[in-house]
Amino acid sequence: MADTSLGTYLRDKRARLDPAALGYGSGRRRTPGLRREEVAQRAHISPTWYSWLEQGRGGAPSAEVLDRIARALMLTDVERDHLFLLGLGRLPDVRYRPSGDVSPRLQRVLDAMETSPALVRTVRWDVVAWNRAAALMLCDYGLLPPQERNILRLVFLDPRSRAHNQDWEAVARFVVGAFRADIARAGAQEELAPFVQEMCSRSADFTRLWQNGDVHGFGEGVKHLRHPVLGAIAIEYSAFTVDGRPDLTLLIYNPMSREDADRIRSLLPLPLP
């Protein structure tokens, strides 16, 4: 059986790095890859402590140390996740990324859901991908400039949001609390402080709810809409983390009955509003 210990994983990843490509001399090396002290130098940790980790000594490392080692070893997101599972028995916290591009494959997953509005949002709640059902039922994000494709901006700064949501106050309170939880989990409070300040300067309602300090998980629930064509309709939603991209959240809204699915399907031949 293969050894799946943290030390073995670290040694394997260290051996795969090219010393010359990273600015280290490649002559007179007994084994391939970086030396332990070179990894420790790149990770800004003690060479002794790093050696102990490879030897299975010294106890569990902190999340900060594992994150430094992941960067030092130039691990991919999937490899970083595996490092945390080996070292701490859990996945790492979400990291904030300014960019939220999705793969063509993920876009095809969205497009395959004909009567289920679906979208992908970032930690900042920017909508970076959506399907036709979402454009028809929620918002045609394609008509908006990229910087305006943000759920918080739409809820608080677009007057149509109050008419579109049956209980706007409950929706607004929920999204602020869930947004606060997201940026805390991603450690992005400092990076997103200017965005929060902008929202506070433009919306008294956002300021009021932000100052309340409420925190909510997104999870799943029911969204009640006033659609301009269909009228009152309820769609249940579920949130999923995108595999390999924990900074992205996939939201899927499902009709709650076959009749509601048929009502949504009736919109599909129509041009987008």
CATH at residue 28:
1.10.260.40
- With respect to residue 270, please indicate whether it lies within any of the assigned structural domains: no
Asked if 30 and 145 sit in the same domain, the reply is no
How would residue 73 be classed by pLDDT, with cut points 50, 70 and 90?
very high
DSSP secondary structure letters along 177-210: HHHHHHHHHTT-HHHHHHHHHHHHHH-HHHHHHH
- With respect to residue 93, please indicate whether it lies within any of the assigned structural domains: no
How would residue 23 be classed by pLDDT, with cut points 50, 70 and 90?
confident
- With respect to residue 94, please indicate whether it lies within any of the assigned structural domains: no
Asked if 75 and 197 sit in the same domain, the reply is no
Asked if 123 and 75 sit in the same domain, the reply is no
Which of these ranges, 93-97, 113-117, 196-200, has the smallest mean pLDDT? 93-97
Asked if 61 and 109 sit in the same domain, the reply is no
In the numeric block, which tokens belong to residue 193?
């402080």
- With respect to residue 14, please indicate whether it lies within any of the assigned structural domains: yes
CA 190 to chain centre: 17
- With respect to residue 124, please indicate whether it lies within any of the assigned structural domains: yes
How would residue 2 be classed by pLDDT, with cut points 50, 70 and 90?
very low
Asked if 118 and 251 sit in the same domain, the reply is yes
Residue 213 has, within 13 A of its CA and on its CB side, a CA count of 0
Q: What is the pLDDT of residues 134-187, one digit of tens each?
A: 999 999 999 999 999 999 999 999 999 989 999 999 999 999 999 999 998 888
- Phi/psi class of residue 143: alpha, beta or left (left: φ > 0; alpha: ψ in -120 to 50)? alpha
Parent domain of 45: 6-88
Asked if 76 and 108 sit in the same domain, the reply is no
Asked if 36 and 163 sit in the same domain, the reply is no
